[in-house]
């Protein structure tokens, strides 16, 4: 790492950027935490010093470090989180995306579990294909027994992930893929029917051309045993496709990826077939491959009145500056490959053989706001194609230049590029549209190529105070129109959208659309526009209103296939048993009542007509001992008429704070039970609440003290009940770290306030 120049400029930080940097990225050395200036210099100088290895480089390494630094602190470009976290550290693992093979033997399966744990520990996410595993109940020749099938082993991977802290800050994330022609495909598609199952996995079904053509023809297709190659059964393809649609409508899981399309774009087919992607689906990789990612903030390349006398299509975008930044970013990401220390020698070999990088974009919605172009418009889609074609073209030019300086990637001669007389290139792939949830918070821009989820949102700060934050471009537009006011801000924060505010100009309402304002077709068309000029894939969510039908999702899936997408994620608002976002006064149900109205009515039957029952002097019950990650829980449950009346929760050998929380939870559960709230509704509210110290219990995990209490109540009193509660459908899921409402975006639950992510 180079010494920091004295005159190095300091980054300008928003209050939120300061919080996220301090909480998630600033390292502590010898008891002293680095500041933002030190952090970005650590990253810039570590990556730039790799330049000294190449005598043909046109850059002095120290001068290049300054250019890298300035690009980051100007929020024009940011690398993926592992690079920000680990560059210049002893760990030195700088890549985000990995794919590991899962072979059809116990040894290979548990090797993959071990390798995944090592990757999660280093801050990476992992993808797996379980398609090589023989189906459930197939004979195992070496033992004479029968196989338990892919889903059973998927559960082992999920449980192992639960125990590993990713990068010391959050849990590992995984992608699990099974081919649609695997005999266990129905079990896989239904794997997440029980809430909380496989919570560390995104699941996707790998669709093939054979299958899609059978869907189109309403024909059957074969299920094939991967061990023997034999056809085990024929299924009607359209029924399977409709089941996929139904699962997406109900919960969003599993997603779909188009395997044949991915492999048609595989630049190194001689090295094998691509079977899986990283956790959010945008980075298809060969087994043991990894990729490092980075994103350009397009919002920083808007220039008011730029190129006014030239082609009108050029107005507002600094194309020359964007080209320069793409070249700089490609050099940065290629250097990251040399700087990174990978957790496995097999990964080091594959990465340095193919040298894949993934340069993408963020701030797309913000650029459209500045240009005054609606997201859901032909002009918006056409500009998306032009911008990404430009980034992709400049990226490949930069990779070609690096190949001249440093040599092509070692597998180039056997690649598709050589066969098609393209290149040579330094990198087998150059572009990827990755999720930028945390990075976009740092850069104060919109995430990836997604529209905004809300124009305003409320942030909880100290002492219960609420702060309404407004998108700066929307704020400027209101100010220019003479409409900015505290009352209007509150109104927009309450609804999240301006589409029903007829007092605002139509042009403003057309431009400032949010994710739920946009017809799903425009979501898909925008994804397809970026995909047409991206080497790898595009991470994006097609957001649907709660009223969307299965036919709507069927149409989106089919359109994704026809438009050339490599996969698609849909999310119907409110579809999961835990609602991930509600703005303001709540989402409206189809009967016109709001979420809050319904949930209060359902969850709070206590009223003047249902008084709290009095406690008798003598009451009988039992005490159950339950292990938790914070100590042994002794839960005493007292009963009346065979039903729980009150509970007392005590944690053995725990601190005063944990003891107090356990006691408070017991009192609140007791109050609910004595007030006539059913056991089922109590369990629905506290079951599945996560914590930092889950432990095994029987066939599953106990995630926290509340989850442990729910486990006792459910297993004692609800063995013969089916747990389906409307009240749970209406609960908003909050960030476990800051309490803000989570958003489903780019295929993952993220917190727009503190940058927490379910996908690691």
pLDDT tens digit string along 523-580? 999 999 999 999 999 999 999 998 899 999 999 999 999 999 999 999 998 776 433 3
Residue 713's nearest CA partner among 655, 633, 651 is: 633
Residue 211's nearest CA partner among 192, 224, 230 is: 224
Token pair of 236, please?
């009607």
Backbone φ, ψ for residue 619 (5° rounding): -145, 145
pLDDT of residue 595: 35
- Tokens 């090592």, residue located: 118
Alpha-carbon distance of 78 to 444, in angstroms, equals: 12
- The dihedral sign for the CA sequence 731, 737, 741, 743: negative
Q: Which positions ≥6 away from 244 have C-beta within 8 Å?
A: 189, 205, 254, 256, 557
Inter-residue contact 205 to 194 (CB < 8 Å): no
Query: What is the chain's Cα-based Rg?
Result: 27
pLDDT of residue 703: 76
pLDDT of residue 606: 35
Tell me: cis bond preceding 457? Omega within 30 of 0 counts.
Answer: no
pLDDT of residue 578: 37
Whether 86 is catalytic is no
Q: How far is CA 273 from CA 35, 127, 261, 613, in A?
A: 44, 14, 12, 65
DSSP state of 25: I
pTM, whole model, 2 decimals?
Answer: 0.81
Alpha-carbon distance of 240 to 223, in angstroms, equals: 12
Any bridge partners for residue 224, and if so which?
A: 231
Torsional class of 277: left (φ above 0), alpha (ψ -120 to 50), beta (otherwise): beta
- The dihedral sign for the CA sequence 323, 429, 439, 27: negative
- pLDDT-above-90 percentage for the chain: 62
Residue 441's nearest CA partner among 275, 238, 236, 295 is: 295
pLDDT of residue 592: 39
DSSP state of 539: -
Whether 282 is catalytic is yes
Burial of 699 per CB tally in 10 Å (0-12, 13-18, 19+): exposed
pLDDT of residue 696: 58
Listed by start position, the domains of the chain span 15-90+296-429, 97-277, 602-729
**Parallel, antiparallel, or unpaired for β 174-179 and 201-207?**
parallel
Inter-residue contact 244 to 560 (CB < 8 Å): no
Could you tell me how far CA 439 lies from the centroid of its own chain?
A: 13
Neighbours of 72 (CB within 10 A): 24
C-alpha dihedral, 456 to 458 to 461 to 465, nearest 10°: 120
Give the three-state DSSP class for 381.
helix
E strand or H helix at 224, and its extent? strand 220-224
Which of the following is catalytic: 26, 97, 266, 280?
A: 280
Give the three-state DSSP class for 431.
strand
- Per DSSP, which regions of 507-609 are E strands? 541-544, 567-572
Backbone φ, ψ for residue 193 (5° rounding): -65, -35
Give the three-state DSSP class for 581.
coil
Q: How many helices (H) and strands (E) does the chain have?
A: 26, 29
Residue 428's nearest CA partner among 344, 356, 507 is: 356
Which of the following is catalytic: 275, 282, 450, 741?
A: 282
Pick the CATH number of 97-277 from 3.20.20.70, 3.30.10.20, 3.90.105.10, 3.20.70.20: 3.20.70.20
Q: Which residues of the chain have pLDDT under 70?
A: 141-144, 165-171, 195, 305-314, 458-467, 576-611, 652-656, 690-701, 719-734, 736-739, 759-760
Alpha-carbon distance of 226 to 598, in angstroms, equals: 49
E strand or H helix at 679, and its extent? helix 679-686
Which of the following is catalytic: 200, 202, 266, 278?
A: 278
Residue 331's nearest CA partner among 282, 284, 361, 294 is: 294
DSSP one-letter string for 97-133:
EEEE---SSHHHHHHHHHHHHHHHHTT-EEEEE-TTS
Alpha-carbon distance of 107 to 123, in angstroms, equals: 25
Backbone φ, ψ for residue 80 (5° rounding): -65, 160
Token pair of 678, please?
């059913």
pLDDT of residue 305: 65
Give the three-state DSSP class for 668.
helix
Tell me: cis bond preceding 424? Omega within 30 of 0 counts.
Answer: yes
């Amino acid at each position: 790492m180079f010494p920091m120049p004295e005159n190095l400029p300091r980054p300008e930080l928003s209050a939120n950027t300061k919080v996220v940097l301090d909480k998630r990225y600033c390292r502590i050395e010898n008891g002293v935490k680095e500041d933002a200036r030190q952090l970005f210099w650590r990253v810039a100088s570590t990556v730039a010093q790799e330049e000294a290895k190449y005598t043909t480089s046109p850059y002095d390494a120290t001068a290049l470090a300054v250019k890298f630094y300035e690009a980051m602190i100007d929020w024009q470009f940011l690398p993926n989180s592992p690079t920000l976290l680990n560059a210049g550290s002893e760990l030195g693992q700088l890549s985000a995306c990995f794919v590991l093979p899962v072979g059809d033997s116990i040894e290979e399966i548990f090797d993959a579990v071990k390798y995944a744990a090592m990757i999660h520990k280093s801050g990476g996410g992992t993808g797996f294909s379980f398609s090589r595993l023989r189906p459930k109940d197939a004979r195992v020749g070496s033992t004479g027994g029968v196989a338990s099938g892919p889903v059973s082993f998927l559960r082992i991977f999920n449980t192992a992930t639960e125990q590993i802290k990713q990068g010391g800050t959050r849990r590992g994330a995984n992608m699990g893929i099974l081919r649609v022609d695997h005999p266990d495909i129905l079990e896989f598609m239904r794997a997440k029917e029980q809430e909380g199952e496989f919570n560390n996995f995104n699941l996707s079904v790998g669709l093939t051309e054979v299958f899609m053509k059978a869907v189109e023809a309403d024909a059957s297709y074969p299920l094939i045993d991967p061990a023997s190659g034999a056809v085990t059964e024929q299924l009607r393809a359209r029924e399977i496709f409709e089941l996929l649609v139904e699962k997406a409508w109900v919960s969003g899981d599993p997603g779909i990826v188009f395997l044949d399309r991915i492999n048609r774009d595989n630049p190194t087919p001689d090295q094998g077939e691509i079977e899986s992607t990283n956790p959010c689906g945008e980075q298809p990789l060969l087994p043991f491959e990894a990729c490092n990612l980075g994103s350009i903030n397009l919002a920083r390349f808007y220039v008011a009145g730029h190129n006014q006398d030239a082609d009108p299509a050029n107005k507002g975008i600094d194309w020359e500056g964007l080209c320069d930044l793409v070249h700089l970013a490609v050099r940065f990401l290629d250097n990251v490959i040399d700087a990174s220390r990978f957790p496995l020698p097999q990964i080091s070999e594959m990465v340095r053989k193919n040298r894949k990088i993934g340069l993408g974009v963020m701030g797309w919605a913000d650029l459209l706001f500045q240009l005054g172009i609606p997201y859901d418009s032909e002009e918006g889609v056409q500009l998306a194609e032009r911008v990404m074609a430009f980034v992709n073209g400049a990226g490949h030019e930069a990779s070609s230049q690096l190949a001249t300086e440093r040599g092509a990637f070692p597998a180039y001669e056997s690649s598709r590029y050589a066969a098609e007389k393209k290149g040579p290139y330094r990198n087998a792939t150059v572009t990827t549209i990755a999720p930028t949830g945390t990075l976009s918070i740092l850069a104060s821009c919109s995430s990836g190529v997604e529209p905004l989820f809300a124009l305003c949102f409320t942030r909880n700060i100290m002492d219960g105070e609420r702060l309404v934050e407004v998108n700066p471009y929307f704020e400027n537009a209101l100010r220019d129109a003479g409409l900015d006011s505290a009352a209007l801000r509150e109104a927009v924060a309450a609804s999240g959208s301006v589409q029903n505010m007829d007092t605002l100009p139509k042009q403003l309402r057309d431009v400032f659309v949010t994710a739920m304002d946009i017809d799903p077709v425009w979501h898909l068309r925008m994804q397809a526009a970026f995909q047409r000029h991206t080497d790898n894939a595009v991470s994006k969510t097609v957001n649907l209103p709660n009223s969307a039908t299965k036919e709507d999702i069927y149409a989106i899936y089919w359109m994704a296939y026809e438009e050339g997408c490599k996969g698609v994620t849909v999310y119907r608002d409110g579809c999961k048993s835990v609602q991930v976002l509600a703005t303001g006064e709540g989402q409206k149900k189809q009967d016109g009542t709001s979420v809050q109205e319904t949930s209060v009515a359902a969850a709070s039957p206590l009223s003047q007509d249902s008084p709290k029952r009095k406690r008798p002097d003598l009451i009988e019950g039992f005490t159950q001992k339950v292990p938790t990650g914070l100590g042994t829980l002794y839960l005493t449950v007292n009963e009346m008429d065979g039903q729980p009346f009150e509970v007392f929760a005590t944690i053995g050998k725990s601190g005063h704070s944990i003891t107090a929380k356990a006691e408070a939870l017991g009192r609140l559960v007791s109050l609910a039970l004595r007030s006539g709230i059913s056991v089922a509704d109590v369990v629905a509210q506290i079951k599945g609440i996560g914590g930092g110290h889950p432990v095994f219990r029987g066939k599953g995990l106990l995630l926290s003290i509340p989850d442990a209490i729910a486990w006792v109540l459910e297993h004692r009193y609800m063995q013969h009940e089916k747990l389906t509660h409307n009240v749970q459908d209406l609960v908003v899921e909050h960030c476990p770290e800051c309490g803000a409402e989570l958003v489903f975006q780019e295929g993952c639950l993220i917190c727009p306030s503190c940058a927490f992510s379910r996908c690691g």
